[in-house]
């Protein structure tokens, strides 16, 4: 579908948009339900993205379960990737047809944003958690009813999402677009921790607990800078195999050892420089 094949019919919001299928959270703790929503046309500084892939982050699950309160009905999803189908007024950074990965939104203007720290944007909470734009308007409707999108500036558990020029990042066309969504949360969180916070360097040892998107992102960053050893820990053997493929020098299934600490000592005496916890659960 090209950008000109839709968007001529006004939606309930009174703007030209697109009918989309979304995974709706209607009740805390309930399974998401597929349903149709009208996604509005992109406003100033926004882009409409046809989603090609989206990761599932634990934060989405926390919102579904009410640990992280969101207004309902909501559309979650914040590791989306797709193709720009329409651009709003004033958008010069992106064009129709661009491949983009979506991350958290930020204002781009406050002291934190202009200082290179968009994750600490003054407007981070209202831009990412409140289900509306800053002016209180919503990007999705179902009939006459408002649906709360804008989750992390995207709500990408849908066939289409509204994002902004600040959180839609152009990616090369030749990359497998459907796999790039986790760059926007899990991978960048992990890689940023290893590269910018730990500032790990070649020859330093790291152990990584939990080998989902975050743990594997940390592992790839550690591998990229030459960490050694790199120990991956998980109960899931498929994940351990992926970790080995991605550069783990050793892997441990803690359920298979009676003395975990001794096992680590055996592998990495006299010790490791860094420990990275991506399990996200208590003991």
Residue closer to Zn ion, measured from CB, 106 or 141? 106
**Are 78 and 104 within 8 A, CB to CB?**
yes
Round to the nearest angstrom and report the end-to-end CA distance of the chain: 49
Three-state secondary-structure class, residue 55: coil
Place of tokens 């203007």: 109
Tell the smallest beta-carbon distance from residue 57 to Zn ion (Å): 3
Tell the smallest beta-carbon distance from residue 134 to Zn ion (Å): 11
Residue 120, number of CB atoms within 10 A of its CB: 13
Stretch that binds Zn ion, among 36-44, 50-58, 157-165, 203-211 (CB under 5 A): 50-58
Stretch that binds Zn ion, among 99-107, 176-184, 241-249, 263-271 (CB under 5 A): 99-107
Residue closer to Zn ion, measured from CB, 124 or 274? 124
Q: Which two tokens stand for residue 244?
A: 């080995």
List the one residue out of 47, 56, 72 whose CA is nearest residue 130: 72
Residue closer to Zn ion, measured from CB, 37 or 121? 121
Site string for Zn ion, 165-204 (x = CB under 5 A): --------------------x-------------------
List 107, 180, 231, 240, residue binding Zn ion (CB under 5 A): 107
Tell the smallest beta-carbon distance from residue 229 to Zn ion (Å): 28
Q: How far apart are CA 233 and CA 100, in angstroms?
A: 32
Tell the smallest beta-carbon distance from residue 220 to Zn ion (Å): 17
Residues 53-82 that bind Zn ion (CB under 5 A): 57, 59
List 75, 121, 161, 231, residue binding Zn ion (CB under 5 A): 121
Element of type H or E holding 278? none
Q: How far apart are CA 235 and CA 246, in angstroms?
A: 17
Tell the smallest beta-carbon distance from residue 199 to Zn ion (Å): 23
Tell the smallest beta-carbon distance from residue 185 to Zn ion (Å): 3
Residue 77 makes CB contacts below 8 A (sequence gap 6+) with 23, 54, 56, 60, 151, 154, 155, 156, 157, 158, 161
By CB under 5 A, is residue 41 in contact with Zn ion?
A: no
Stretch that binds Zn ion, among 120-128, 139-147, 154-162, 271-279 (CB under 5 A): 120-128
Max alpha carbon distance in the chain (Å)? 67
Stretch that binds Zn ion, among 105-113, 137-145, 167-175, 219-227 (CB under 5 A): 105-113
By CB under 5 A, is residue 110 in contact with Zn ion?
A: yes
Q: How far apart are CA 124 and CA 106, in angstroms?
A: 6
Measured at the CA of 266, the angle between CA 264 and CA 272, to 5 degrees, comes to 50
Q: Which residues bind Zn ion (CB under 5 A)?
A: 57, 59, 106-107, 110, 113, 121, 185
């Amino acid at each position: 579908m090209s950008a000109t094949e839709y968007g001529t019919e006004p939606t309930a919001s009174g703007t030209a948009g697109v009918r989309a299928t979304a995974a709706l959270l209607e009740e805390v703790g309930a399974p998401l339900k597929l349903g149709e929503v009208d996604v509005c046309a992109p406003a100033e500084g926004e882009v409409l993205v046809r989603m090609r892939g989206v990761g599932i982050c634990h934060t989405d699950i926390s919102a579904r379960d009410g640990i992280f309160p969101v207004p309902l009905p909501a559309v979650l999803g914040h590791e989306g990737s797709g193709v720009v189908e329409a651009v709003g007024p004033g958008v010069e950074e992106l064009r129709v047809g661009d491949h983009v990965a979506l991350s958290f939104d930020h204002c781009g203007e406050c002291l934190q944003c202009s200082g290179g720290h968009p994750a600490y944007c003054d407007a981070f909470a209202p831009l990412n958690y409140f289900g509306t734009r800053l002016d209180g308007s919503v990007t999705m409707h179902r009939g006459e009813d408002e649906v709360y999108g804008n989750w992390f500036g995207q709500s990408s558990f849908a066939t289409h999402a509204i994002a902004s020029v600040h959180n839609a990042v152009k990616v090369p066309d030749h990359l497998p677009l459907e796999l790039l969504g986790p760059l926007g949360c899990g991978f960048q969180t992990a890689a940023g921790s290893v590269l910018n916070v730990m500032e790990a360097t070649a020859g330093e040892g790291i152990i990584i607990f939990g080998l989902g998107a975050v743990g594997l992102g940390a592992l790839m960053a550690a591998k990229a800078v030459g960490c050694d050893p790199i120990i991956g820990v998980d109960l899931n053997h498929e994940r351990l195999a992926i970790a080995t493929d991605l550069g783990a020098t050793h892997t441990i299934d803690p359920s298979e050892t009676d003395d975990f600490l001794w096992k680590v000592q055996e592998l990495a005496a006299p010790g490791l420089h860094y420990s990275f916890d991506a399990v996200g659960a208590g003991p």
